[in-house]
Chain A
Amino acid sequence: MQVTLKNIHKSFGAVDVVKGLDLDVKDGEFLVLLGASGSGKTTALRMIAGLETVTSGTIQIGERDVTNILPKYRDIAMVFQSYALYPHKTVFANIAYPLTVRKHPRAEIEAAVKDVARQVQLDTLLERYPRQLSGGQRQRVALARAIIRRPAAFLMDEPLSNLDAKLRGYMRAELKHMQHELGITTIYVTHDQVEAMTLAHRVALLDKGVLQQLDTPATIYNAPANLFVAGFIGSPPMNFLQGELIDGGFSSAAGSFGTRSRATNPHAVAGIRPEDCRVTTPELGKFAGEVFATELIGDHALVTCRCSGSNVTVKVEKDFQRGIDEKIGIGFDEKALHLFDSQSGSRLA
C-alpha cells in the first residue's frame, strides 16, 4: 500500500529534527531514506512506525490517516538495526510472535512459520534460541518475523549495518529479491549510499531534516538537484571548482573552459566526478595542476591533483605512473559537467 507523509515536522524540545517532510511512497515501491547521522531519517521512519509522535503534519498508510494511531494498529512490520529478537523465545516463537499476539489459530501459525522459515532458510533452526545463532541467521529471523504477516508496509532501520561486509553484500541481494517477490511497500533507512543505490526504486536524500532530492538512483547520480546531493552521492566524491560563469563560459583559478550552459552567474560551482575525468597533457586539459598523491585501489587508481588551491581527484587506470609534483592536464566531456549556484546550492540549467 502507498505511504504518504504530508508536511511532517518533528521537534525534540527546541531541536527541529524533521522539517516539513513530504514523501509519497508508491504501492510496492522500495524507497530508501538516505542521509548522514542526524539527518532525521531514522526519526522519520519511527514516526511512520508510530514509535514517535509527529509535531505536525499527517501520515497516511493506504487511504487511512494513521498520524495518531498506535503502532499495532498501523499494519506494518519493522526490522531494527539491532534485530530486536526476543532472547527468551525460540526462533519459532520469535517468528510466530506477530501471529500469536493476534491470536491466530495454532495450526495456522505453525504452517505460516514453517513457510517463511523455508523462505529464509531457517527451517532447521526453529528450536534454537537467538543467542545460539550467527549474525546473519539472527538477521534472517528478524526478516522472517517481519514478512510472516504480510503487512501493508515494511520499515527497515539499517538492517544490514551489523553484518560483516561479505554477508552484507549477500543479504542485500536477498533482501532485494525478497521485496520483489513479495511486492510489499518498503521504506528502508540507511547511511550507506551503495545500499541506497543498489536497493532502491527511488532514493530520498535527507540533510538536517530537509528532503534534498527524491528520485531514482540514476537521476540522483546523473542529475543531482543541489550541491549537497552532488557531494553526498558518489565515491570518491565529486570534485568542485569555485568560479564564475559568463555566458556559459566557466572561469576559475584552476583554468577556464566552455560549458553547455548559456547562463551567467558570478558565484558558480563546477562539479565533475572523478570517474568522468581523464588525465591528459597539461596543454590538452580543460585545466591543469600538479600530482599531489596517487592511490592504488585495486582495479583502478585515484590521482589527487592540486589545481591552484583546489584538490581534484581523478579515477585512472591501475597502471597509472606519474611522479609527485609532475604537471598534468585534466580533461572531461562537457556532458559530464554539473553546474551549481554556490549561494543557493541549487543546480543551474
Chain B
Amino acid sequence: MNTPPDTRPLMRRLFERRSLDTLAPVPKFATYAILLAWTFVVLFPLYWVLVTSLKIQIQVDAGPYYIPFVDFTPHLDAWNFMLFQNNTLWPYMNSIIVALTSTILALLFGSMAAYALVRIRFQVKLAAIIAFIVLVIGVIVAVVEFAVPWQVAILAAIVLFFLALTSIGRRFKAALGNNDIEFWMISNRIMPPIVAVLPIYVMFQHLKLLDTQIALISTYTAVNLPIVVWLTRDFFAGIPLDLEESAEIDGASKFRVFFTIALPLVRSGLAATFMLVLILAWNEYLLALFLSNANAQTMPVLVSAQNTTRGPQWWYMSVLIVIMIVPVIVIAAFLQKHIARGLLIGAVKG
C-alpha cells in the first residue's frame, strides 16, 4: 500500500512538532531568543514574589533589590509571621475545602448534564417554562405581599403548573431543544458576577448561611457548572455511539454506561476541565469577599487584606501568594499524565 497524500489541515502541518536541529542557524537563534524572552516574562513574576517574601519592609521600600545574598540579605520574618503568628492556616484550609469540593461537585453534575445534552433529545415546551416562571413570581408575590403561608402557596403553584401543562401544553407547540438549553446554561456565565452578588448575599442572609463554607461551595458549584457543561460536551460528543449502544445491549443502564464507559473515555478532557475549574474556584475573590467574613474566609480575601492602612504589606502578600501557588502546581503535576491524547485508539475500526 502506498501512503495517502497529506490531507491534514494547513494549520496542523504548520504547527507540527519539528526538531530544532533541522532549522537553519538564523531561525534557530530567533526561536531560542523568543522562547527565552517569553520564559522570562512568565517566570519573572514568580521569582519576584518569591524574593519579595524573603525581604523586610526596608528592603522593599529602598529597593529594587533583585538577588538575595548579593543585593540584600534575605530574612524569614514575613514567613515566620504569616505561618506561626498570623492565623493563615484557617483561610488556607477554607480555600482547599471550598475549591476542591465545589470543583468535584461542578464536574460531577456538569458532566452528567453535558452527557445528557449530547445523548438525549430534549423538547421542553416553551409554554411550560413560561407557566413555571409566572407561578414562581406568583408564589413570591403571594408570600411576601399577601402573607400566604409558603407551604400553601407552593402546593397551589404545583397543582396549577400541572393543570397548565395538560391544557396549554396541547395548544402551544413551540419547544426548546438541546441547543437552547445549552445556550441558556452558558448565558448564565455571560452575566457579570457583580450583578448577582447582592441577591446571592441576601439569599444566604435569609438562609442564615453567610460566612459558611456551604455558601461558598454551593455558589462556586453553580457558577462553574456552565463552564463544565460547555467544555465536556464536546468530549462526550466524540465518543463513538457504537460503544454506548453496545454497552446498553450488554445490559448496562444509562447511569452505568455513563460511569463505566463514557466517563473513563473522556478522562483526559475531565482532567483538563478539573484543573481549569479548580483554578477558577481557587482564585475567586468577589463572591468570597461578600459571602465570607472570619469563619469562611479564603486565601484571595486574605491576600487582599494585606493592603492595610499602613500601605500594602508586599512581603506578607508574597508569602501568601507563594503558598497559594504550590498546591495548584502539585495538582497540575499529578494530572499531567492524564491530560494525554489517543485514548480512543483501538475502540473502533481495524
Contacts and interface: CB of A to CB of B under 8 A. Distances in A.
Interface string B257-290: 0001100110000000000000000000000000
Nearest to B267: A88
Contacts of B253: 72
Contact of A77 (B249, B345, B348): B249
B60 to A, nearest CB: 52
A98 interface: yes
B236 to A, nearest CB: 15
Interface residues of B, number: 25
Given A82-B240, A84-B240, A84-B243, A130 B250 contact: no
A221 interface: no
A80 B248 CA distance: 13
Contact of B343 (A80, A83, A88, A98): A88
Contacts of A101: 247, 250-252, 256, 260
Interface in A147-199: 162-163
Nearest to B253: A72
A97 interface: yes
B198 interface: no
Given A49-B249, A72-B253, A78-B246, A84 B346 contact: no
B148 to A, nearest CB: 44
B8 interface: no
Given A98-B251, A135-B350, A163-B350, A84 B345 contact: no
Contacts, number: 87
A112 to B, nearest CB: 14
B251 A132 contact: no
Contact of B350 (A51, A71, A162): A162
B349 A84 contact: no
B234 interface: no
Given A72-B253, A82-B240, A87-B265, A132 B346 contact: yes
A228 interface: no
Contacts of A102: 251
Given A82-B240, A82-B242, A101-B256, A87 B347 contact: yes
A162 B350 CA distance: 6
Contact of B347 (A51, A130, A162): A130
B283 to A, nearest CB: 32
A133 B345 CA distance: 11
Given A82-B240, A84-B245, A87-B265, A145 B250 contact: yes
A49 B248 CA distance: 10
B264 A88 contact: yes
A86 interface: yes
Interface residues of A, number: 35
A138 interface: yes
B250 A83 contact: no
A71 B240 contact: no
Interface string A121-145: 0000000011111110011000001
B246 A87 contact: no
Contacts of B347: 82, 84-87, 130
Contact of B346 (A74, A77, A81, A133): A133
A87 B343 contact: yes
A78 to B, nearest CB: 5
Nearest to A75: B251
A51 B345 contact: no
A270 to B, nearest CB: 43
B29 to A, nearest CB: 41
B160 interface: no
Contacts of A134: 350
Contacts of B137: none
B108 interface: no
A234 to B, nearest CB: 29
A133 to B, nearest CB: 7
A51 to B, nearest CB: 5
A338 B344 CA distance: 51
Nearest to A155: B249
A113 interface: no
B249 A76 contact: yes
A80 B244 CA distance: 11
Contacts of A83: 348-350
Nearest to B242: A84
A185 to B, nearest CB: 15
Contacts of B345: 87, 131
Contacts of A87: 265, 343-347
Contacts of B344: 87
Interface in B182-204: none
Nearest to A51: B245
Nearest to A133: B346
A70 B265 CA distance: 24
Nearest to B248: A71
A273 B243 CA distance: 43
B344 to A, nearest CB: 6
16 contacts: A51-B249, A71-B248, A74-B249, A76-B249, A77-B249, A77-B250, A80-B245, A84-B245, A85-B348, A86-B243, A87-B346, A88-B343, A101-B247, A132-B346, A133-B346, A162-B350
Given A74-B249, A132-B346, A139-B350, 15 more contacts: A50-B249, A51-B249, A77-B250, A80-B246, A81-B242, A83-B349, A83-B350, A86-B243, A86-B247, A88-B264, A101-B250, A101-B252, A101-B256, A102-B251, A131-B346
Interface of B: 240, 242-243, 245-253, 256, 260-261, 264-265, 343-350
Interface of A: 49-51, 70-72, 74, 76-78, 80-88, 97-98, 101-102, 129-135, 138-139, 145, 162-163
